[in-house]
Structure 1
Amino acid sequence: MQYIKIKETIAEQIEQGMLSAGQKLPSERQLAETFTTTRVTLREALSLLETEGLIYREDRRGWFIAPPRIEFPLSTAEDFLTLAQQQARQASLSVIRAKNTLANKQVSGWLQLGPFAEVYAVELLRYLEKRPVCLVRYWVAEKHTAMDSDAATELFTWLRQQESQHHFCVHDSVTLGCLTGETAVLLHAAPGTPALVIERKVYRDAAPVAAEITIWRHDSLTVTSSAAYHADH
């Protein structure tokens, strides 16, 4: 089928380095003319490339070649900035909001809180090479005394700053989703762009101390996991 051939041709140019990370593709009209096809057929090819994480779309800006993915190990108590540095990537954060607030029903359930409990809630964006790739929301079962949102940090940095909270147990779950509404706008994505959603619960001495939801552009990370196996002799 024609859209498969178009997809394979573009993928081959990416793999051979003829198209580099971050490079903008020609407009859909130009690509349709190049491949002598319709815009509908071309979009089928581009959608396949997007699903495979080879290209990404920015709302109202067009299609771009996706940079290499960052490796994100599950159930680790490492912050994004640390992981990015270990993988020689340029990473940064911007804080959207940070405040003490009443916990909603979902957060109260995660953190085993009673009625009218307050939590420290943070929302921030993660960037790779200045590209927004992840929206983060986390809640800590402890109010913050300093309410300067500019001083807000990532979850595990915040936890390690608290006395006696240095050893954590992290439980993760991963689901597929899509970017919509404010999340799509913040990540410069067209509505419906695929996403990976990682839900994290953090425990200390079997007691929940924090919960986090991260919504990633699906082409920006590879989720990894490792486990020790001991054979019985």
Structure 2
Amino acid sequence: MQYIKIKETIAEQIEQGMLAAGQKLPSERQLAETFATTRVTLREALSLLETEGLIYREDRRGWFIAPPRIDFPLSTAEDFLVLAEKQARQASLSVIRAKNTLANKQVSGWLQLGPFAEVYAVEMLRYLEKRPVCLVRYWVHAEKHTVQDCDAAQELFAWLRQRESLHELNVSDSVTVGCLTGETAVRLHAAPGTPAIVIERKVYRGEYPVAAEITIWRHDTLTVTSNAVHLSQ
């Protein structure tokens, strides 16, 4: 099929370094002319490349070559900025909001809260090489803490590190695959329907929940990893 051949040709050029990370592809019209095909067939090829994480689309800007993925270990108290630095990546954060607010039903369930309970809620964006790659939302018990200035808000474990003994905490993660929609797609400069990886994280001290976090990643930006576990009879 022609779209498979187009996809393999572009993938080969990426693998050989002829197309560099972050480089913008020619317009769909130009690519269709180059491959002597229709826009419909070309888009099938581009969709396959996007699914494999080799290219990504920015809404109204076109298609780009995806940078290398970042390795993201599950169930560890690792800050994103530290993790990125270890992997020689340029990372940054921007805070959208940080405030005390009433917990909704989902957050109340995660943190085992009663009616009208307040939480300290933070929403922020993570960037790799100045590209927004992840929307973060986390919640902690508000009765123990006072509201911070939005500009002073930190990532979850950096925030906890100043207030909790991390070696007494346990982390539990669950991973699902979804797509970017609405405000999340806008903030990540993505077209609606772009694939996403969603990680729900809960932090416990013993059986007591301390915090909860959701991170919504563009799917081409990370590889989820887990430590090996030795099994014995």
What is the aligned partner in structure 1 of residue 215 from structure 2? 214
Q: May I ask how many residue pairs the two structures share in their alignment?
A: 232
Deviation at 1:69, TM superposition (A): 0.2
Q: For 1:77-226, what aligned pairs fall within 5 Å after superposition?
A: 77-143=77-143, 144-226=145-227
Identity within the alignment, %: 85
CA shift, 1:141, in A, is: 1.4
Q: In the alignment, what sits opposite 2:64?
A: 64
Paired residue for 1:14?
14
Per-residue deviation, residues 111-150 of structure 1 (Å, max 9, x unmatched): 0001111000000000000000000000001343243000
> Where does structure 1 lack aligned partners over 5 or more consecutive residues?
none
* 1:132 and 1:188 in contact (8 A); partners too: yes
Instruction: Tell me: CA distance 1:28–1:176, structure 2 relative to 1, closer, same or farther (3 Å).
Output: same
- Counterpart check, 1:31 vs 2:31: yes
Shift of 1:204: 1.0
For the residues of structure 2 that align with 1:149 and 1:184, how far apart are their CA atoms? Answer: 22
Q: TM-score normalized by structure 2? A: 0.97
Q: Distance in 1 between matches of 2:100 and 2:167?
A: 22
**2:99–2:147: 8 Å Cα contact kept in structure 1?**
no
Matches of 2:119 and 2:167 in 1, distance apart?
20
TM-score by length of 1: 0.97
The residue type equivalent to 1:220 in the other structure is: T
Distance in 1 separating the partners of 2:185 and 2:31: 25
Query: 1:71-122, CA deviations, whole angstroms, 9 ceiling, x for partnerless residues?
Result: 0001011111111011110000000000000101110000000111100000
| AA in 2 matched with 1:62 | G
Shift of 1:163: 4.5
Whole-angstrom CA distance in 1 between matches of 2:148 and 2:19? 45
Look up the equivalent residue of 1:31 and give its one-letter code. Answer: L
Q: Deviations over 1:149-185 (max 9, x none)?
A: 0000000011111044543111100001000000000
Is residue 200–residue 212 contact of structure 1 (8 Å, CA) maintained in 2?
yes
- Using the TM superposition, give the Cα deviation of residue 230 of structure 1 relative to its aligned residue in structure 2, in angstroms: 3.9
Cα distance, 1:226 vs. partner?
1.5
Root mean square deviation of aligned Cα: 1.0
For 2:195 and 2:22, how far apart are their aligned partners in 1?
A: 18
| Ranges of 4+ aligned residues in structure 1 off by more than 6 Å | none
Question: Secondary structure in 2 aligned to 1:162?
Answer: coil
Cα distance in 2 between the residues matched to 1:224 and 1:65: 23
Is the Cα–Cα contact under 8 Å of residues 73 and 224 in structure 2 kept in the other structure? yes
Does the 8 Å contact 1:159/1:166 carry over to 2?
no
Residues 28-66 of structure 1 deviation map (CA, whole Å, 9 limit, x = unaligned)? 000000000000000000000000000000000000000
Name the aligned partner's letter for residue 27 of structure 2: S
Aligned-pair distance for 1:205? Answer: 2.2
Amino acid at match of 2:101: T
Query: Structure 2: any 5+ residue segments left out of the alignment?
Result: none
